Structure 1
Amino acid sequence: MRVVLAAGTTETALIDGISAAGAAPELMAHTPSADVEILAYGAPTAAPVTPVSPTGCPTPAAVTRAVREVVGFEVAVVDAGLSEPTGAPTVDLGVEPGTDIREPEAVPQASSFYPRAREYGRTLPDDTLVIGETVPGGTTTALGVLTALDEPGGVSSSLPTNPLERKRRVVETGLAESDLEPGDCEGDPLEAIRAVGDPVQPTVAGIAAGALETGTDVTLAGGTQMVAIAAVLRHAGIDAPVTIATTSFVADEQGDALPAACDRLDCELRVTDPGFDERDHVAMARYCAGEAKEGVAMGGALSLVPDGRMSAVRDRLEVVCARLGIEPETGEQEGAATEPTEGTHGP
């Protein structure tokens, strides 16, 4: 069993009000690179940013790392369009950062990125893959792809209040700039990604497609962003069984919409409650208050925790938070670099 994390960037994250980290774009570009380092090493190494909000909410990478330290799993990180280097080892598939979806082409080489990732997925020897993502702006691009494919529903947010109407307006502009109407890309998911997606999407979808072709069990680790990936797979004609594993924070926010989407796309839904409400620690309290919710394969990692071991994960998360400089009793964190990034710290 292996967790594969696709890490990338898109200029869509720089749109005002789309990303919680938009006030510091020079730091936001480093967030996926820092997430990768936290998952690989337990703390940032080369990245000049620690993704912790001013209120003390850490990146979901901290939770995924805590699970890794408790249950153990292999990790492979794929460079899915990083705009800043990372100190962690990555697989290079030649994927480039994405542009603003309000441009005519958001991912000009989507049709090239997908087969490269598909071939990589075919080569993985594991019986089971859990595939996650970290990409600022990813819930907006997910909404773009779902809209272009005529898949109903909305997307979640790393923020307590979801700026869904703002995202919809951005997607409307993006489709218009690409000379498309909602539903015009039905049956052509790579065209949808090219127009209004991000480079992580063809990477994750390609890896999943290649792995499914070799009989590997695939779990898409995330919330509504992974619904978009599932839609890409189904519109590409891939009907193999797929599981979406997410957190109770996403499921609670989405209500009936998430199960309905999984039913429509014929995906099993797995929801895990990490029991953060049982601890008096600022990091867990911020998740319970609606921050972050998901990302960096958090939901998929939590689904791997055996019965009776979640308390150990919460214990280890406190240790990881201490490494990141998060004090348990206060939300004002010295040196916190950025608030949660939409998509990177979101579903």
Structure 2
Amino acid sequence: MRVILAAGTTETALIDGISAAGAAPELMAQTPSADVEILEYGRPTVSPVTPVSPTGCPTPAAVTRAVRDVVDFDLTIVDAGLARPTGSPTVDLEVPAGTDVREPTAVADAAAIFERAREFGASLPDEALLLGETVPGGTTTALGVLTALGEPAGVSSSLPDNPLERKERVVETALEASNLEPGACGAEPLAAIRAVGDPVQPTIAGIAAGALESGTDVTLGGGTQMVAIAAVLRHAGVDEPLSLATTSFVADDPSADLEAACDRLDCELTVTDPGFDGREHVSMQRYCAGEAKEGVGMGGVLSLVPDGEMSAVRDRFEAVCARLGIDENGVDPESGSDAAGDGTDAAAGADGGP
């Protein structure tokens, strides 16, 4: 199994109250780059930000890295619009960062990105792919695309209480700026991304389309952001079998309504509970309390863990947390780590910032 992580940024994340994946805008732009470094090396290397909330909830990249330590899957990072450099090797598909969705155009070259990604996906020799993402503000852009497609819109959040009304107001403003009504892009899914999406979306959708067309099994690893990708694929006429693998944290979120969405989009749904409720470590407790929930392929890679090995994943997660400056009681003030924000979107790749 090859895991492909698409990492990118959108100026949508800078909207007040949308995401706090960085304590300041210059740090927020770094968080996807830090995510991929954590996944590759176990800690940030070039990036000056460590995506950890002050409550001790780390980016889902920490969980995905812990699974990698146990399962040892192949990994490819795709630059899907990174605003800052990363120390991790990446595949460059010439994807620029995304614009604020309240502008008339959010992803100007969505169709071209999709085609380049499609060629890349079709070229891969793997029998199976698991696709993940990290992009601050990603559930807001997911809501935008789902609304433009005319799909019933429900998205999760990295907050215990999902500020869905705030997201809906942003999407309403975004559609007005693009002169679109809800459902106007049902026959043109890439137009939905162009108007109110982010650059990670055409990248993942293109890779998935190319891989499916070449006979590769594809699993979308994530939550409601991946539901938007599945909707784009179905509206684009891609009817091959498709799977979505997520965490119990998202599946238990009533605002996500994943089971109904997967039924509607003909996606096989896999839900994995990492068993964090059996440990006292603060990071696991914060996930159980509803922070972060998903992102950076977390739910997808958790589904790869063999029976009896989840305890080893929890052990490795504690070790990754220690490298990120989090002990069992919280963020270590002596670690020198820069927290990602104020907890609104504690982790760049979390399936959700408000």
TM-score with structure 1 setting the length: 0.98
CA distances 1:22-72 after superposition (whole Å, capped 9, x unpaired) = 652111100000000000111111000110000100100000000000011
Structure 1 contact 157–343 (Cα < 8 Å) conserved: no
Name the structure 2 match of 1:40. 40
Name the structure 1 match of 2:81. 81
Shift of 1:173: 0.4
- 1:116 is aligned with what amino acid? R
CA distances 1:88-136 after superposition (whole Å, capped 9, x unpaired) = 0000000000000000000010011000000000011111100000000
State the alpha-carbon separation in 2 of the partners of residues 106 and 255 from structure 1: 25
Shift of 1:220: 0.2
- Structure 1 unpaired stretches of 5+: none
State the alpha-carbon separation in 2 of the partners of residues 343 and 87 from structure 1: 17
Name the structure 1 match of 2:17. 17
User: Which has the larger displacement, 68-77 or 323-332?
Assistant: 323-332
Name the structure 1 match of 2:65. 65
- 1:152 is aligned with what amino acid? P
Name the structure 2 match of 1:6. 6
User: Which has the larger displacement, 13-22 or 98-107?
Assistant: 13-22
Q: 1:346 aligns with which of 316, 328, 351?
A: 351
Name the structure 2 match of 1:337. 339
State the alpha-carbon separation in 1 of the partners of residues 126 and 113 from structure 2: 22
Q: Is 1:211 equivalent to 2:243 in the alignment? A: no
Q: Is 1:141 equivalent to 2:141 in the alignment? A: yes
- 1:58 is aligned with what amino acid? P
- Structure 2 unpaired stretches of 5+: none
Structure 2 contact 218–242 (Cα < 8 Å) conserved: yes
Shift of 1:201: 0.1
Name the structure 1 match of 2:94. 94
State the alpha-carbon separation in 1 of the partners of residues 296 and 183 from structure 2: 29
Name the structure 2 match of 1:305. 305
- C-alpha change, 1:165 and 1:256, in structure 2 (3 Å) is closer
Name the structure 2 match of 1:179. 179
Name the structure 2 match of 1:110. 110
State the alpha-carbon separation in 2 of the partners of residues 196 and 85 from structure 1: 25
Name the structure 1 match of 2:290. 290
Number of residues of Structure 1 aligned to a counterpart in Structure 2: 347
CA distances 1:227-280 after superposition (whole Å, capped 9, x unpaired) = 000000000000001101000000111378210000000000100000000001
Name the structure 2 match of 1:189. 189
Shift of 1:287: 0.3
Name the structure 1 match of 2:325. 325
Q: Is 1:52 equivalent to 2:57 in the alignment? A: no
Structure 1 contact 54–332 (Cα < 8 Å) conserved: no
Name the structure 2 match of 1:225. 225
Name the structure 1 match of 2:168. 168
Name the structure 1 match of 2:121. 121
Name the structure 2 match of 1:30. 30
- Matched residue of 2:271: which SS? strand
- 1:108 is aligned with what amino acid? A
Shift of 1:20: 2.7
Shift of 1:177: 0.4
**What is the aligned-residue RMSD (CA, Å)?**
1.3
- The percent identity for this pair of structures is 74
- Matched residue of 1:77: which SS? strand
Name the structure 2 match of 1:314. 314
User: Which has the larger displacement, 196-205 or 24-33?
Assistant: 24-33
Structure 2 contact 21–51 (Cα < 8 Å) conserved: no
Structure 2 contact 2–75 (Cα < 8 Å) conserved: yes
